[in-house]
Amino acid sequence: MQIIENSKIKEKLYVEKLSNGLTVIILPKKTRKKYIVWSTNFGSIDNKFYAPGEDILTVVPDGIAHYLEHKLFEQENGRNSLDVLTSIGVDANAYTTNDHTAYLFECTDNFDEALEEFMNYVQNPYFTDENVEKERGIIEQEIMMYDDEPTWSLYMNALKCMYKDNEINIDVAGTKETIAEIDKDKLYKIYNSFYRPDNMIIVLAGDFEPESALEKIKSKMTLKAVEEETKRVYNEEKLDIVEKYIEKEMDISMPCVLIGYKDNDIKSNKIKKDISIEILGDLLFGKSSETFEELYESGKILSEPGINYEFSKTYAHTLIQVQTNYVEDVIKVIDEKIEKMKQTGINEEDFNRAKKKIYGEFIKDYNEVSTISSIIVADHFKGIDSFDYFEEFKVVSKEYVEKVLKEIFVEDRKVISVIKPISK
């Protein structure tokens, strides 16, 4: 077992690649909690591929990754594994993202009993015409719930303004029309193509002895190695944005704004850029920033604007979110402060303060087993070692952050998504 140690945060990762190709990462922590997540590199963007051993392109309905996530809990014996895990006091769940699907549970007791059920249902799908059809109405309700969620609409509208062909535009849950095309044969094909060991990772964090935990995983592993490759196909994305502005009325009390900047340089050092965007977010919008002070004192915002850099192997963008009754004024001030910082540069003292603050927040993530496990999984599928963030912090300079500021916040790649209250 390989041991990867970071002396700065006093953490060790125990990493083993099993003979079938599956990666297991164990992060022991001094806590009573035990957390495990099993994830496959298959999400909403993976809708076109060549299945193992096939030379005909397979195109699957939008939302199928999420649909499969729902169905995997149902077993041939009639039990629902989610109910079984809950009944023994285990907090179990699952989620689907753009690029991966994850199954997980957290507990302080009954880990071995829960692991037996967990390893069984993830490795033994059971799809029938009847149980697939039964789930359709449930997922339709979930889609309607997403459609009524203002922050989700705000986010999806921003993506549609930025991207014309990139699969990130696909709603994770799909639509009523697309999920109507899903059947058991499509689900089995997805499972056999992507739920393969070399495309998966298991992360354990918490009260574990690494060797013992690894042996438990190995003893319950039944998935076999797959020799033939699953070849994904993605659309080519143009550099230009689609449209500058989009607005929608929904049942909310205060308008929400999302300003997005499309990043076309998807092959750059994403870790350094991610750190830089976090630092810029604090400098531009943190509680000690000019922007926050001006907007808060004038009563135009009540809380800090949030900033986030999202990226994968096929896309990258920066998002700034704020809630305000003064949409045009707030956007104007944000634009002005960004331009001012571009012109004047970053104060060295402010930079060092912000860098230390962001570094501390990264360290804090390691205190919560669920948070750090999710981060390790997401980073793994992006081709990133999570410990690399701490190494890159050393080399992120003021000059580099100023360079990112000028490269990211470009007017021609900016979009604005607004959700406003329904007009009276």
| Distance separating alpha carbons of residues 47 and 41, to the nearest angstrom | 13
Q: What is the DSSP letter of 200?
A: E
Q: Pick from 132, 4, 161: which is nearest to 61 by CA?
A: 132
User: Which residue in the list 69, 106, 117, 392 is annotated as catalytic?
Assistant: 69
Residue 11 designated active-site: no
Listed in sequence order, the DSSP H helices in 287-347 are 290-297, 327-344
Cβ atoms of 411 and 241 within 8 Å: the answer is: no
From the number of C-beta atoms within 10 Å of its C-beta (0-12, 13-18, 19+), residue 406 rates as exposed
| Distance separating alpha carbons of residues 114 and 92, to the nearest angstrom | 9
Q: What is the DSSP letter of 165?
A: S
Q: Pick from 3, 51, 18, 40: which is nearest to 224 by CA?
A: 18
Residues 6+ apart with CB under 8 A from 137: none
| Distance separating alpha carbons of residues 265 and 287, to the nearest angstrom | 30
Cα-flanking dihedrals φ and ψ of residue 217, to 5°?
Answer: -65, -45
Strands (E) across 147-273 are located at: 200-206, 231-232, 245-250, 256-262
Continuous segment of H or E residues that includes residue 373: helix 369-381
List the structure tokens of 143. Answer: 């889609």
Catalytic (active-site) positions: 69
